[in-house]
Amino acid sequence: MKITEIKELTSKEIVERLQSEKETLVRLRLNHAVSPLENTNKLRESKQTIARLNTVLRERELNENQN
């Protein structure tokens, strides 16, 4: 998910998306521990998406505190 797509979402949608991405990451890690994944880049992409979501949430939080 690109940063421009994330910025278009509301804060509530971002929180929901963040929760689902974390669940996906846990599932991928468990699957990878049991049997190696074909495409391990999915782990990396999931972690990057979580980081992007957290970044946008933090930016919004800081902007609210300044105003």
pLDDT tens sequence across 30-54: 999 999 999 999 999 999 999 999 9
pTM for this model (two decimals):
0.91
End-to-end CA distance of the chain: 28
Say which CATH number the domain at 45 has: 1.10.287
pLDDT at 67: 79
pLDDT at 1: 83
Contact 16, 6 (CB under 8 A): no
Number of domains within the chain: 1
Range of the domain at 32: 3-66
